[in-house]
Amino acid sequence: MGIDAVELIPVKRSEKARIILRTLAELYPNPGIPLDHKDPFTLLVAVLLSAQSTDKKVNEITPNLFALASDPKSMAELDVDTIRHAIRQIGLANTKAKAIKSLSQILVDKHEQTVPQSFEELEALPGVGHKTASVVMAQAFDVPAFPVDTHIHRLAARWGLSAAKNVAQTEHDLKRLFPRAQWNRLHLQIIYFGREHCPARFHDLTVCPICSWASTKKRQREEAQINAQSRRRG
């Protein structure tokens, strides 16, 4: 559903949220988890690796890593250099390799090789922040969560759903707008929509299925100016 399906541009955030929810449900009724994994541990590692990288690149390197070790005990037994070599094509490989080894050892020592099912315990693991914990809770354990990264933060601003300056506040705003039962699916739907229809750079908001009606004219002009400046700079 694009602008043609909206007779009046909604002013209230709650009205926008209702239409966006319906639009995304029509476009992505059953969104799959974009990171390849087989269990909570491999998902946890994949999400950790995805920081400042792409899901596509993570999916390219994890088969080699998981061929070496796909459970906490075997991963903890690898040395950091071996892990780093397996993930060397990804950004922050050294830092991520140390975190993967350390968290694997903690899972062995404190959690009986099982990924904990609480935000507090997940966020206590090396390299695991709130966003990573939220993804694991939502996608591995089906606990309602709304992981917000910089991409979802940007779309929420474009759509006038949040004026927050950081992802934490954006998460708070989105959780208030959307039904709790929809959070896990909606998070994935927004990710897929952003990739296919709402990219970060050189995006024409006036033709986007959601931005065209949800964003303000001011926002549309500002992004058009930024795009023009970027093109002039080459």
The tens place of each residue's pLDDT in the chain, 234 residues long, gives 444 444 456 679 999 999 999 999 999 999 999 999 999 999 999 999 999 899 999 999 999 999 999 999 999 999 999 999 999 999 999 999 999 999 999 999 999 999 999 999 999 999 999 999 999 999 999 999 999 999 999 999 999 999 999 999 999 999 999 999 999 999 999 999 999 999 999 999 999 999 999 999 999 999 999 989 888 886
Nearest to 115, CA basis, from 95, 79, 140, 98? 140
The pLDDT assigned to 10 comes to 65
> Which pLDDT belongs to residue 229?
87
CB atoms within 10 A of CB 2: 14
Q: What is the pLDDT of residue 96?
A: 98
What single-letter amino acid sits at 49?
L
Domain edges within the chain:
3-30+147-179+188-233, 40-141
Q: Which of 43, 17, 46, 5 lies closest to 190 in space, CA to CA?
A: 17
CATH level 3 topology of 3-30+147-179+188-233: Endonuclease Iii, domain 2 (1.10.1670)
Do residues 49 and 87 touch, judged by C-beta distance below 8 A? yes
Distance CA 35, CA 49 (A): 10
Give residue 1's pLDDT: 43
Rounded distance between C-alpha atoms, residue 208 and residue 218, angstroms = 15
Which residue among 149, 165, 175, 217 is the active-site one?
A: 149
Q: How much is the pLDDT for 8?
A: 52
Tell me whether residue 98 is one of the annotated catalytic residues.
no
Q: What is the pLDDT of residue 101?
A: 98
Whether residue 149 lies in the annotated active site: yes
What would you measure as the largest C-alpha separation in the chain, in angstroms?
Answer: 61
Instruction: State which amino acid sits at residue 138.
Output: A
Predicted pLDDT at 9: 62
Number of residues in the chain? 234
Contact assessment for residue 87 and residue 93, using Cβ atoms and an 8 Å cutoff: yes
Of 16, 101, 131, 173, catalytic = 131
Instruction: Confirm if 188 and 152 have CB atoms less than 8 A apart.
Output: no
Say if residues 35 and 58 touch (Cβ distance below 8 Å): yes
Q: Which CATH number applies to 40-141?
A: 1.10.340.30
**Amino acid 77: pLDDT:** 98
**Is the distance from CB of 202 to CB of 225 less than 8 angstroms?**
no
Q: Which of 220, 90, 91 is nearest to 160 (CA)?
A: 220
Measured CA to CA in angstroms, residue 51 lies from 46, 93, 158 at distances of 9, 11, 22
Which residues make Cβ contacts (< 8 Å) with residue 168, sequence separation at least 6? 130, 148
